[in-house]
Amino acid sequence: MCIRDRTYSLKIHTERNIKMSKGLLIVVSAPSGCGKGTILAQVLKNDNFYYSVSATTRFPREGEVDGVNYHFLTKEGFEKLIAEDGMLEHACYCGNYYGTPRKAVFDKLEEGKDVILEIEVQGAMKIKEKCPDAVFVFILPPSLGTLRHRLEKRGTETPEVIDKRVGEAAGEIEKAHNYDYIIVNDDLDDAVADFLAVVKAEKMTVKRSSETIDEILNK
Ligand code: 5GP
């Protein structure tokens, strides 16, 4: 086996064995305007969570900071990262590239952090293939009307973009069937509590706790 092949097989090993890593890989999707950012901002007050900063080719919105909200890249820079196999997944959404830089995710999982990927559904389904032990959470608005209203109130998009995003949202919501958990964001505190409950319950599943069973048997 040449070194290149060995590197490849080690990588597959890492991705398929998320279950064995100390932290949880949590994939969160929601149509734009569902309040996912607000929910995650509350969740991330807990130091054990790590938010994976994505790369994108879209322009920064007012107030967004490079390296904090996203790594803002040119199309060429983004494609270079893909070619170097630096992305765990990537997708094209509303005409721009979005992707998850691979290294930070596995470094943080190894440290024992619960890593949150806030990504759209195409990317989430790629993670499902590569990392079947990740946890998939979909956040829903109470209705499509509420979603449109929230986007209009946010005021960061033109009416054309809002139409496009609401249209895409309907298609995305249908994909929620492929996720493990649904959280309806009607009330922020409830949604945050639901998210934390999902993480807590996941950590108690037998597939993630077999070591605990063995430890108790050997005490
Ligand atoms: P926005 O432009 O509103 O920040 O994000 C648009 C969509 O791209 C959202 O659904 C967001 O979750 C998704 N997104 C953000 N980062 C990534 C990523 O790294 N990979 C993928 N596949 N989607 C992402």
Q: What's the one-letter identity of residue 190?
A: D
* Binding-site residues, ligand 1, Cβ < 6 A: 32, 54, 58, 89, 91, 93, 98-100, 118-120, 122-123
pLDDT given for residue 72 in this prediction: 98
Q: Quickly list H helices, 33-120.
A: 36-43, 75-83, 102-111
Per-residue model confidence (pLDDT) at position 214: 87
Percent of the chain at pLDDT exceeding 70: 90
Task: Report which secondary-structure segment, H or E, holds 87.
Answer: strand 87-93
Whole-model pTM: value is 0.87
Which tens digit of pLDDT belongs to each residue from 99-109? 999 999 999 99
Q: What is the number of the ligand 1 atom nearest to the C-alpha of 94?
A: 6
**Where residue 15 falls among pLDDT bands split at 50, 70, 90?**
low
Mutate to test the pocket of ligand 1, among 29, 34, 54 (most ligand atoms within 8 A of CB): 54
Note the pLDDT tens digit of each residue in 78-136: 999 999 999 999 999 889 999 999 999 999 999 999 999 999 999 999 999 999 999 99
Q: How far, in Å, is the centroid of ligand 1 from the Cα of 86? A: 17
Q: If you measure from the C-alpha of residue 162 to the centroid of ligand 1, how many angstroms do you get, rounded to a whole number?
A: 16
Ligand 1 centroid, distance to 210 Cα (angstroms): 34
Q: Give the position, in ligand 1's atom list, of the atom nearest the Cα of 70.
A: 16
Mean pLDDT of 171-200: 96
pLDDT at 3 over 60: no
How does pLDDT run across 31-44, given as a tens digit for each residue?
878 889 999 999 99
Which residue has its alpha carbon closest to ligand 1 atom 23?
119
Average pLDDT over residues 157-169: 88
Among residues 29, 48, 42, 54, which one has the least CA distance to residue 181?
29
pLDDT score at 14: 58
Average confidence score pLDDT of the chain: 89
Task: Of 97, 92, 95, give the one whose Cα is nearest residue 56.
Answer: 97
> Measured from the CA of 99, which atom of ligand 1 is nearest?
19
